Amino acid sequence: MNAQKQYAADVESILSHRFDNGGDLWTTPDKRLIKGSPFSTLECTEYLLELGVDPEEPILRDAAHLILSTWQEDGRFKVYPQGAVYPCQTVHAARTLCRLGYADDHRLKKTFQHLLDTRYTDGGWRCNKFSFGRGPETEYSNPLPTLVALDVFRYNNCIQAETLDSAVDFLLEHWIIRQPIGPCHYGIGTLFMQVEYPFRTYNLFYYVYVLSFYPRAQKDGRFLDAFHVLESKLVDGQIVIERIAPRLKGLSFCEKAKPSALATKRYHEITRNLQE
């Protein structure tokens, strides 16, 4: 399999989990694409791409077809066979497909439009699932799905960045609010400030990475403050991972408390974005 040679053992380790959930390609027999985290279909596909596996490799082509099989005519992705379909599910599936090269596919174009049409009043995306009850803090969008949605939209060259300014502003304002907001209570605290890689959760590194692609954020004081916090964590110019999912322990590309060449590569994307 075509990948960076130094990560061959990581690729094999990820592939070893291929049937863990009872189906092929890290899924369950009934196509639960986010079951078994951190070794779910969507996550493992992302890891392989991060390790340099070619999207044209058979396993990633098959993964793309599996994900696309859950696409709905209205543009959403039904990553669980039963139950409600939430924006967080759609944006994660869309992000993976964009990375696989499907951003121009007619189905993804419909997904882009669906996402534009279903934004909440503050410009972000909000899952109507109130696991923590209702209160003033739940009258906001959910920060992580909004961040992932912005990650998705950077693959769409037909949409002007200004169209998404309100979503960018929402996330920048969360840097000031800090408190848990949205129905799923995403906050900015100790865990958020720990550098996590690969990008899986709402954390400082992923926050700065995605926002760095948006002109609205690049010169904003709130973004620059977050960027400088991330910058202060560099060790000899490299990103050192502070937090990973425990089950990812043993993968060399994301070892906790050690510099990561691939994470540092993502950091360099941030700095290039700010120089343009």
The secondary structure of residue 135, as a DSSP letter, is: -
- Residue 148 pLDDT exceeds 80: yes
Sign of CA dihedral 119, 68, 19, 4: negative
Domain locations in the chain as residue ranges:
189-276
Q: What percent of the chain has pLDDT over 70?
A: 98
Counting every residue, how long is the chain?
276
* pLDDT grade for 1, boundaries at 50, 70 and 90: low
Helix and strand numbers, DSSP H then E, in the chain: 12, 0
Nearest to 38 by CA among 269, 250, 205: 250
Average pLDDT value for residue range 201-230: 97
Average pLDDT value for residue range 3-23: 92
pLDDT given at position 171: 98
pLDDT given at position 160: 83
* pLDDT grade for 3, boundaries at 50, 70 and 90: low
Q: What is the pTM of this model?
A: 0.96
pLDDT given at position 163: 93
pLDDT tens-digit map of 165-185: 999 999 999 999 999 999 999
For 12, list phi and psi in degrees, rounded to 5: -65, -40
**Amino acid identity at 146:** T
pLDDT tens-digit map of 122-147: 999 998 877 776 888 899 999 999 99
pLDDT tens-digit map of 75-130: 999 999 988 889 999 999 999 999 999 999 999 999 999 999 999 999 999 988 77
Residues 126 and 140: their CA atoms lie apart, in Å, by 7
DSSP string of 90-121? HHHHHHHHHHTT-TTSHHHHHHHHHHHHT--T
pLDDT given at position 101: 98
Are 93 and 69 in contact by the 8 Å Cβ rule? The answer is: no
Are 45 and 96 in contact by the 8 Å Cβ rule? The answer is: yes
